[in-house]
Amino acid sequence: MDALELLQLNLLSPMVLAFVLGVVAVLVRSDLRLPEELYTVLSIYLLFAIGLKGGAELSVTPLGEVILPALATVALGILFPILAYGVLRRVGRMSVADSAAVAAHYGSVSAVTFTAVITTMAALRVPVEGFMPALLALMEAPAIVVALTIARSRMPGAAPGGLGEVWREILTGRSLFVLIGGLVVGLLSGKAGLAQVAPFFVEPFRGALVLFLLEMGTVAAARIRDLRKVGPFLVAFGILTPIVFGFVGVVAGTLSGLSLGGTTVMAVMAASASYIAAPAAVRIALPQANPAYYLGSSLGVTFPFNLSIGIPLYYAMAQAFQGG
């Protein structure tokens, strides 16, 4: 399948079409919105299912296969916020607080985009290493802490509660807590345990994702108005940064021994921007930062780009880099 065929397949997938339907609903001022309780249940379901399946795979995966990809993931989580901060501060001329806040989002990872690429690889019948959810958990926290540490070093008193409070918010926040909890449950119960709950956590997974992305479309569309505040620089940053970071992810995935599917997932993780864990931590540590900047760019620009165009692009990059 060439890049154009994959792009067409991705754009016409139920996931992307549901997301677009949510965007259209907001633009035509429909009252379509999922109940807040259902949105919360779906997010917990998806994260726990990802962790559960990843933990079950980890239970039968030799440690030697995981070490290099895990080290590469942590390295990217440290490198990306530093690079993003430098660009935002020097090229974008943004304040220290805003630069660090945006950098925290782009160094971290989007669990929903991760779920979308896993589903896409399954639809293409491209094998993916089962331990990738563990790498997702590894990448989420370091980038946020690195970016906020940069801000604190340049803005004394920027984090009133200290980095300990930031760590507490990250580790006990719903997204990472449920993901890690699912990993532990899957690791301890193994493949046999997963088989017992597969009718609930495996088969219905894609349907739940489509419904979740319908709601995400309405959330992202609500951030479109923020693009006027974000400005041309952050719009360009929200598109070009994922492409560059995605390519670095392709290189890192290949050098650490991941397959074509695993490398694609690594690239998507590298290219994605957090809009769940990062905003919660930034809200505590950097109340001075403008939410229109970090949410407008990550949720209003990067998430739709990655969901529609980015995933096929990173898959094509991985194919080219791995020689086929």
* 250 lies in some domain: yes
Query: Closest by alpha carbon to 305, among 212, 237, 230, 225?
Result: 237
Q: What was the pLDDT predicted at 324?
A: 58
Q: What was the pLDDT predicted at 220?
A: 82
CA–CA gap between residue 182 and residue 87 (Å, rounded): 36
pTM for the full predicted model = 0.87
CA–CA gap between residue 279 and residue 288 (Å, rounded): 13
Residue 90 has pLDDT above 80, yes or no: yes
- Percent of the chain clearing pLDDT 90 (strictly above): 51
Question: What's the CATH number where 169 sits?
Answer: 1.20.1530.20
* 11 lies in some domain: yes
Tell me the average pLDDT across 212-217. Answer: 88
* 307 lies in some domain: yes
**Position with higher pLDDT, 146 vs 250:** 250
Cβ–Cβ under 8 Å, residues 309 and 243: no
* 319 lies in some domain: no
Cα atoms in the 13 Å half-sphere on the side-chain side of 57? 16
Neighbours of 284 (CB within 10 A): 17
* 260 lies in some domain: yes
pLDDT tens digits, one per residue of 278-324: 887 788 778 888 888 998 899 889 999 999 999 999 999 999 998 75
* 324 lies in some domain: no
Residue 114 has pLDDT above 60, yes or no: yes
DSSP type of residue 226: G
Residue 10 has pLDDT above 70, yes or no: yes
Which band of pLDDT confidence, cut at 50, 70 and 90, is reported for residue 161? low
* 18 lies in some domain: yes
Tell me the average pLDDT across 39-61. Answer: 89
Q: What was the pLDDT predicted at 66?
A: 93
Containing structural domain, residue 60: 3-26+35-314
Query: How many domains does the chain divide into?
Result: 1
* 320 lies in some domain: no
